[in-house]
């Protein structure tokens, strides 16, 4: 089997799917790309059993066949080749592969393509189309809050709920919760699923910047994303997502607005002086002034700053938060001003962007920490 392909074009396609490859997979053949050639079309697959990515490209070839090619050595070779045609010659009996270029010849050992795991096919699919910019924004706004704790698998992904009126993305790690909702995207029926963290990280890296439609097909086990010449298939997290609505307080009537960048910069300075284990900062709201302070009694470190805010309603309040969580949440807010809704020192605080797209609704929740008495 023989075919010729542009080195840079092939590298671009491989880079888009190479993130799936695991360094020490449970099945050794998954260190390989699966190349399938048919009628001048080259289909390339990478998989780790949980997530698979497939890309296609037109090439110069008259033959058909398939082979598993070691991923790392192929990527390293192409990354160090200048743009030029590269010829692949595969021995069907020994699975040996020879690459020929203007620079020289390179031989490597492939594997039998029939040993490569079969990629799932969608069964009785439902589908929804989401613009790439909307999907990218939803992933950006939620994925950072997903848990990394494998003991709570339901929280290691992003919950997606499709309804006839809107689409909702939710992520939480127990310390913070992000709810991102779009009213300009809707499903035909009410359905929900948990999309795994790794798959969304991979998807985030390959979504086109321009406004491209992404078709999402799904069944009870898998979700299928397709756009352009790329497809991604991921196994859904087979768990029940927590009843997140129950932790969102409805009576947070202590409301203030503040400049996001001023508060973010202040928190980054103040946390330097906080206890390195708890990262606790104290927010003291008094009139139109917000005092942010922290102390580390073990090292006699302390710091405080005062910021002006627009205190819309509610009494003076003192509440503690983990500064790292506040910094990360505020860092994902696009608006220049943010709205805080607080209630009591032991109840979750809500953060909203003061300015947002009319088609979206974003709620960010951060759990408080218990303040030590002064």
The torsion angle over the Cα atoms of residues 219, 241, 338 and 255, rounded to 10 degrees, is 140
| Strand order across the 289-296 sheet | 301-308, 289-296, 280-286, 317-322
Quote the pLDDT of residue 349.
97
Statement to judge: residues 73 and 106 lie in one domain: yes
What percentage of the chain exceeds 70 in pLDDT? 99
Q: What local confidence, expressed as pLDDT, does residue 147 receive?
A: 96
What pLDDT shows up at residue 123? 75
Residue 26: which pLDDT band, with cuts at 50, 70 and 90?
confident
Residue 129 has a CB neighbour count (10 Å cut-off) of: 11
Whether residue 238 sits in one domain with residue 132: yes
Task: Look at residues 344, 351, 340 and name the one whose alpha carbon lies nearest to residue 319.
Answer: 344
Q: Is residue 171 part of a domain?
A: no
State residue 373's pLDDT score: 63
C-alpha–C-alpha distance, residues 217 and 122, integer Å = 7
* Cα gap 315→368, rounded to integer Å: 18
Domain that holds residue 252: 248-366
**337 vs 263: CA distance, rounded Å:** 10
57/43 same-domain check: yes
Residues 269 and 227 in one domain: no
Domain co-membership, 90 together with 199: no
Within-domain flag for 205:
yes
- 47 found inside a domain: yes
Residues 194 and 172: their CA atoms lie apart, in Å, by 12
For residue 305, count other CB atoms closer than 10 A to its CB.
16
Q: Are residues 136 and 236 in the same domain?
A: yes
Residue 203 near residue 230 (C-beta atoms within 8 A) = no
Per the structure, the count of domains in the chain is 3
Residue 374 forms part of a structural domain: no
Residues 36 and 82 reside in one and the same domain:
yes
Whether residue 72 is contained in a domain is answered as: yes
Task: For residues 134 and 238, state if they share a domain.
Answer: yes
pTM over 0.75: yes
- What confidence tens digit (pLDDT) does each residue in 321-357 have? 999 999 999 999 999 999 999 999 999 999 999 998 8
Answer with the one of 57, 88, 115 that is the final residue of a domain. Answer: 115
Tell me the pLDDT tens digit for each residue of 281-300: 999 999 999 999 999 988 99
Both structure tokens of 149: 């704790």
Categorize the per-residue pLDDT at 374 as very low, low, confident or very high, splitting at 50, 70 and 90: low
Task: Judge if 93 and 157 occupy the same domain.
Answer: no
> For the domain that residue 69 is a member of, what is the CATH number?
3.10.150.10
- Residue 176 falls within a domain, yes or no? no
Predicted local distance difference test score (pLDDT) of residue 337: 97
Structure tokens at 316: 């003076």
* Position 322 in a domain: yes
Q: Are residues 19 and 108 in the same domain?
A: yes
Q: 92 and 134: one domain?
A: no
Residue 372 lies in a domain: no
**Whether residues 90 and 147 fall in one domain:** no
Segment 146-165, tens digit of pLDDT: 999 999 999 999 999 999 99
The pLDDT of 266-292, averaged and rounded, is 96
Q: For residue 312, give the nearest of 351, 252, 257 by alpha carbon.
A: 257
pLDDT digits (tens, 9 = 90+) for 89-136: 999 999 999 999 998 999 999 999 999 999 998 777 788 999 999 999
Contact criterion met (CB below 8 Å) for 207 and 199? no
């Amino acid at each position: 089997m023989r075919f010729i392909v542009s080195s840079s074009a092939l590298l671009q396609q491989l880079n888009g799917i190479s993130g799936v490859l695991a360094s020490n997979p449970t099945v050794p053949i998954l260190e390989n790309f699966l190349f399938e050639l048919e009628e001048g079309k080259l289909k390339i697959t990478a998989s780790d059993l949980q997530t698979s990515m497939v890309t296609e490209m037109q090439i110069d070839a008259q033959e058909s066949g398939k082979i598993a090619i070691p991923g790392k050595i192929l990527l390293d070779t192409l990354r160090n080749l200048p743009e030029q045609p590269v010829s692949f010659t595969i021995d069907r009996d020994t699975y040996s592969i020879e690459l020929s270029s203007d620079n020289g010849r390179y031989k490597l050992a492939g594997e039998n393509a029939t040993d490569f795991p079969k990629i799932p096919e969608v069964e009785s699919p439902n589908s929804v189309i989401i613009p790439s910019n909307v999907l990218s924004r939803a992933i950006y706004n939620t994925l950072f809050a997903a848990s990394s704790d494998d003991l709570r698998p339901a929280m290691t992904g992003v919950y997606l709920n499709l309804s006839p009126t809107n689409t909702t993305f939710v992520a939480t790690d127990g310390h913070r919760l992000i709810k991102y909702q779009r009213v300009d995207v809707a499903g035909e029926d009410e359905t929900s699923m948990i999309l795994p963290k790794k798959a969304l990280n991979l998807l985030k890296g390959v979504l086109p910047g321009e406004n491209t439609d992404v078709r999402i097909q799904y069944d009870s086990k898998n979700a299928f994303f397709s756009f352009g010449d790329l497809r991604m298939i991921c196994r859904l997290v087979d768990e029940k997502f927590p009843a997140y609505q129950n932790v969102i307080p409805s009576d947070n009537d202590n409301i203030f607005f503040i400049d996001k960048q001023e508060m973010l910069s202040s928190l980054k300075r103040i946390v330097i002086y906080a206890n390195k284990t708890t990262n606790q900062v104290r927010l003291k709201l008094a009139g139109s002034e917000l005092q942010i302070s922290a102390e580390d009694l073990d090292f006699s470190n302390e710091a405080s700053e005062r910021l002006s805010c627009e205190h819309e309603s509610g009494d003076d309040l003192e509440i503690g938060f983990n500064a790292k969580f506040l910094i990360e949440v505020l860092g994902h807010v696009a608006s220049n001003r943010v709205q805080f809704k607080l209630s009591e020192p032991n109840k979750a605080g809500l953060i909203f962007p003061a300015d947002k797209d009319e088609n979206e609704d974003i709620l960010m929740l951060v759990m408080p920490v218990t303040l030590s008495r002064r």
